[in-house]
Amino acid sequence: MSNGQTQQTVAIPLPKAKKNLVQIGCICMMLSVAMYGLVFSTLTAPILESVNAMGYVGLFSIFAALGVTIMTPIGGKLGDIIGRRNIVVIPGILCVICGIAFAFVRSLVPLMVLRLLISLTQGAFTAAPYIIMGLINERKDVPKAMGMLAAAIAVGGFGGSIIAGILTDMNMLTVAILMPALPLILGIVLIGLNMPNQKREGKVTVDVPGIIALSVTLCAILLSLNFGSAIGWTNPVIIAGFALGLIAFYALIKVEKKAVEPLIPLALFRNKNYTMLLAVGFASYFYQNAMNVYAPIGAMQVMGKSASIAGTLQMPRTLLTIIVPIIAGTWVGKKTSNMWKAMVGATALAGIPMLVMGFTTPSTSILVYIVALTVTGIAESFRSVSITPAAQSMLEPKDIGVGTSFVNFFNSLSGTVAATVFAVAYNMNTAADPTNVEFIQNGVNAVYWVAAIVGLVGLAIVILFVRPQMSDKKETEQSEQKVA
């Protein structure tokens, strides 16, 4: 491809050497994000035990999810305003500082504050690697680039949690907490030195009312969802929380309609093609909480397997998600039609394994779980290389930043909603006797059935809506090429 053609198809053209360094920087950023997530999951108990605060495990986890969920859409818009390089460098440096401080603080309140700050800063830059990969690569190479990010997440999560566990067992908890900062620092340096900071010229208005309204909406609704299953959905505090969230959401819509520089361009949601992709992303991500939380319960409490066996359930799946995304990304990049085919795999290969696991009994072989979860690794690989590139192709250049951020936002929102829905399904079946094997069996099966239904609904959306949209888009592009 000639240089002139490259200029037309790449939003930010870079020399090959600098492009490769920026891509390595993006991979390092996602390594760090995955490592922080899994390291904190592994170390939550030791960290809180060290300050005699095991009763705060739930709140600690909520802070982790809440910060990322709030800042992901805000970070995407801020990147449009201050530039893609700055949205990596500034929050990245703040995250490193908070991460280092977290390793040495041994008091509950500062730990909680620092955990929230780490989550907020991560949310600000989490979407940036996906956006940058879309800006510096030709369109046909974007799925492969997304595959590299997915592989980085798998490596970071898998390796990070193992190394963190080993270091903690060696009484090196501080080193384990510091570890994720290393790839983050490398990523900041590589992107900061090799990528130009493109930003819009002229006066830029920051949508402060929109940020406040969005933060209140998410805090009120997500905290109510998390605490509702514990203290009761009819509790006045929970009802008030949902009411506040709805009022703030209404205010957000009003504010965004009038804003000069809206945090959330509402026109995005009038784009039917883009909205369908958000729905597919939500559906294809939904099963993961069932896999992470309830598969070990089914293996140990229903099948009677040991904790060590339950801990190996996802090992083959993890290995697949290290290798397959790059291969899948290369395949998706060859033809536009491969994108919707990949989404068929992302939804079907998530829903069907959950359906199979929905028949768990004490006599079920553990191999059923291992094989089913391994298949979901293929689904995850297809999801990671199809939905974000497809969404970017549906957006105007000015909306790519916030549009990509909302894909990530809907993924995290899917996980939060799934956790609540699954908890309700499980608790309804185990309320009479939470220790009874038959009730536990019914509970985990109910969770798997819900996950299967959502995944298969996503499959229906792909077949009925996304496939025709992409077929029409391909025909339009071919017609334009003939005219040109």
Section 67-71 average pLDDT: 82
Residues 331 and 378: beta-carbon distance below 8 Å = no
Residue 99 has pLDDT above 70, yes or no: yes
Residue 110 has pLDDT above 80, yes or no: yes
Residue 225 has pLDDT above 60, yes or no: yes
pLDDT, residue 418, reads 86
Banded model confidence at residue 41, pLDDT cuts 50, 70, 90: low
Q: Which of 109, 119, 113, 112 is nearest to 65 (CA)?
A: 119
Residue 198 has pLDDT above 90, yes or no: no
pLDDT, residue 42, reads 61
Residues 115 and 124: beta-carbon distance below 8 Å = no
Residue 5 has pLDDT above 50, yes or no: no
Q: Beta-carbon neighbour count of residue 246 at 10 Å? A: 13
Lowest mean pLDDT: which of 54-63, 176-185, 394-403?
A: 54-63
Q: Write the pLDDT tens digit of every residue in 318-365.
A: 889 989 999 999 999 888 889 999 999 999 999 999 999 999 999 999
Helices (H), 394-436: 400-430
Q: Beta-carbon neighbour count of residue 107 at 10 Å? A: 10
**Between residues 73 and 43, the one the model is more confident about:** 73
**Between residues 325 and 227, the one the model is more confident about:** 325
pLDDT, residue 387, reads 93
Percent of the chain with pLDDT over 70: 90
Banded model confidence at residue 482, pLDDT cuts 50, 70, 90: low
Rounded to whole angstroms, the Cα distance separating 201 from 338 reads 38
Lowest mean pLDDT: which of 35-49, 256-270, 303-317, 435-449?
A: 35-49
Distance between start and end Cα atoms, the chain: 17
Q: Where are the beta strands (DSSP E) in 78-177?
A: none
Q: Beta-carbon neighbour count of residue 256 at 10 Å? A: 18
Q: Write the pLDDT tens digit of every residue in 390-418.
A: 988 888 777 787 788 888 888 888 887 88
pLDDT, residue 20, reads 94
Banded model confidence at residue 153, pLDDT cuts 50, 70, 90: confident
pLDDT, residue 1, reads 39
Banded model confidence at residue 2, pLDDT cuts 50, 70, 90: very low
Q: Which of 442, 287, 425 is nearest to 353 (CA)?
A: 287
Residue 264 has pLDDT above 50, yes or no: yes
**Between residues 209 and 41, the one the model is more confident about:** 209
Q: What is the mean pLDDT of the chain?
A: 85
Q: Residue type at 450?
A: V
Q: Which fold has domain 16-127+135-196?
A: Growth Hormone; Chain: A; (1.20.1250)
Q: Write the pLDDT tens digit of every residue in 125-146.
A: 988 898 899 889 988 888 988 9
Residue 37 has pLDDT above 90, yes or no: no
CATH code given to domain 264-475: 1.20.1250.20
Residues 341-358 as b or e (16 or more Cβ within 10 Å = b): bbbbbbbbbbbbbbbbbb
**Between residues 195 and 166, the one the model is more confident about:** 195
Section 8-13 average pLDDT: 74
Question: What pTM was computed for the model?
Answer: 0.78
